[in-house]
Amino acid sequence: MEDIKAVARRMKLASPDMAATPVEVRDAALLRIREELLAHADEFFEANAADLAAAEEAGVAPAVMGRLRFDEHKLADVCAGLESLVGLPDPVGRVLLERELDEGLVLTRRSCPIGVIGVIFEARPDALVQISSLCVKSGNCAVLKGGSETLRTNRALFRAIHAAACEAGLPELCMHQVEARSDIAELLSCDGLVDLLIPRGSNEFVRYIMDNTKIPVMGHADGICHVYVDRAADLGLAVPLVIDAKTQYPAACNACETLLVDRAVAEAFLPAMGAAFAEAGVEVVADEGARAILGCAPATDEDWDTEYLGLKISVKLVDGVDEAIAHVNRHGSHHTDAIVTEDDAAAERFMQLVDSAGVYRNASTRFADGFRYGFGAEVGISTSKLHARGPVGLDGLVTYKYELRGHGQVVADYAEGRSSFRFRDLA
């Protein structure tokens, strides 16, 4: 079998052709993929049944089994996703700037695909469909490595998707699936061939990827999100908001790990909050001040830097919004943090000074998600400040190039004063 680097090299050479594919062909490919998925549904369900049986035998936790499943419901979801993607405007070829530098010398900044993207994702067959279709819509070639627990389902899905894409006129190398865990290390060494890596999965896994490649990486390792309940909070609104942020899906990166409470409202707020935690089965650890009210176990220094990924939360009292901001900027992971307050000034201060991809007022941190932002789908959530930040949809999968059209202009004429620039933005 051909090694990954050889495939990546061929894919790199094919990527300009993929990038030049008209949007009509890319959209037709998405519709063709949808048809092919519906036509081969039974094959996927059969392959998935075998994956699920193997996972059960291997003792995979019931909570995880739901992610591995690919059934009628998930098929309907991904088909709806494909349709909505077809309806979205083309992210490629958009004119972002058009400027005459001098008479007859026109500069255009135009969006274009990134090129070759490597995506390493968890065992979730619907993610394979979503990611490959986002890459098709954005004109990128993709190397896809899904979690091995759904190997059979992934293989069947990829075969159908790839065949449909090629039949619709996309280059044969528009996408490639790798299956072996050992392929990941080889993929990491493909700098110069793969333009971007998007790893999804556990913190340790994402950090391993970030630390072991020269390829730019988009994603996030930790998700240490905070809710700060301010002295001017509507306390009745705060309790269900914190419960949602903590419990609606505790394993998600946008779940809340630390609750900061303004000392001024601690007595009024924490008894009701503590009761709600108890009812929801949330284990609580807290600093001295909060413990005095909650009667829970003490938090250690480590707790403020810990992502529990489960039904546990740390609670800390702070002296107002500035101490809350300082705590979040120091201990957070720059993902998503919320303030609960009716005070406009405190809210704006928190939202301006907290250095995170998402800064919320009176809303649950769990809203940080491409679908909930109306992006149609996401390839991941980025806590990097460069390129795309927060949930990343189609926009994050394109870059731009500068086109310059002239009639033989040379720089010497401008450097030596025979010509001069007359900048004029067009249209």
- CA 26/CA 375 separation, integer angstroms: 18
Stretch that binds its own copies, among 51-59, 76-84, 221-229, 396-404 (CB under 8 A): 396-404
Q: In whole angstroms, how close is the CB of 167 to its own copies at the nearest point?
A: 23
Q: Which of 74, 99, 155, 159 binds its own copies (CB under 8 A)?
A: 99
- CA 345/CA 322 separation, integer angstroms: 12
Q: In whole angstroms, how close is the CB of 291 to its own copies at the nearest point?
A: 27
With binding defined as CB under 8 A, does residue 266 bind its own copies? no
Q: In whole angstroms, how close is the CB of 13 to its own copies at the nearest point?
A: 7
Nearer CB in complex with its own copies: 181/405: 405
- CA 394/CA 130 separation, integer angstroms: 11
Q: Which of 29, 78, 114, 317 binds its own copies (CB under 8 A)?
A: 114
Kindly list the distances between the CA atom of residue 116 and the CA atoms of 135, 143, 174, 369, in Å, as whole numbers in the listed order: 9, 8, 9, 24
Q: In whole angstroms, how close is the CB of 422 to its own copies at the nearest point?
A: 10
- The structure tokens 């549904």 sit at 41
With binding defined as CB under 8 A, does residue 401 bind its own copies? yes
Q: Which of 62, 279, 330, 427 binds its own copies (CB under 8 A)?
A: 330
Q: In whole angstroms, how close is the CB of 381 to its own copies at the nearest point?
A: 10
With binding defined as CB under 8 A, does residue 389 bind its own copies? yes
Nearer CB in complex with its own copies: 120/359: 359
Neighbour tally for 301: CB within 10 Å? 7
- CA 119/CA 135 separation, integer angstroms: 10
- CA 350/CA 342 separation, integer angstroms: 13
- The structure tokens 């600093």 sit at 287
With binding defined as CB under 8 A, does residue 351 bind its own copies? yes
What's 299's DSSP letter? P
With binding defined as CB under 8 A, does residue 366 bind its own copies? yes
Structure tokens at 376: 């149609």
Q: Give the footprint of its own copies on residues 6-65 (CB under 8 A).
A: 13, 15-17, 19-20
174-213 CB burial, b ≥16 within 10 A, e <16: bbbbbeeeebbeebbbbeebbbbbbbbbeeeebbbbbeeb
Stretch that binds its own copies, among 130-138, 165-173, 284-292, 362-370 (CB under 8 A): 362-370
Q: In whole angstroms, how close is the CB of 43 to its own copies at the nearest point?
A: 30
Q: In whole angstroms, how close is the CB of 338 to its own copies at the nearest point?
A: 8
Nearer CB in complex with its own copies: 62/374: 374
- The structure tokens 């307050």 sit at 341
Stretch that binds its own copies, among 61-69, 101-109, 122-130, 310-318 (CB under 8 A): 101-109
- DSSP H or E run through 286: strand 283-286
Q: Give the footprint of its own copies on residues 158-217 (CB under 8 A).
A: 195-196, 210-211, 214, 216
The size of the interface with its own copies (CB under 8 A), counted in residues, is: 80
- CA 337/CA 330 separation, integer angstroms: 13
With binding defined as CB under 8 A, does residue 361 bind its own copies? yes
Total residues belonging to the chain:
427
With binding defined as CB under 8 A, does residue 107 bind its own copies? yes
Q: Nearest-CA neighbor of 315 among 224, 222, 226? A: 226
With binding defined as CB under 8 A, does residue 325 bind its own copies? yes
Q: Which of 182, 310, 319, 402 binds its own copies (CB under 8 A)?
A: 402
140 within 8 A of 116, measured Cβ to Cβ: yes
CA dihedral 276, 280, 286, 290 (to 10 degrees): 10
Q: In whole angstroms, how close is the CB of 377 to its own copies at the nearest point?
A: 14
With binding defined as CB under 8 A, does residue 290 bind its own copies? no
Stretch that binds its own copies, among 25-33, 278-286, 307-315, 354-362 (CB under 8 A): 354-362
Nearer CB in complex with its own copies: 56/403: 403
Nearer CB in complex with its own copies: 102/287: 102
Q: In whole angstroms, how close is the CB of 393 to its own copies at the nearest point?
A: 11
- DSSP H or E run through 176: strand 175-178
Q: Nearest-CA neighbor of 115 among 190, 169, 178? A: 190
263 within 8 A of 289, measured Cβ to Cβ: yes
Stretch that binds its own copies, among 73-81, 119-127, 276-284, 350-358 (CB under 8 A): 350-358
Kindly list the distances between the CA atom of residue 145 and the CA atoms of 282, 388, 417, in Å, as whole numbers in the listed order: 35, 22, 56
Nearer CB in complex with its own copies: 100/167: 100
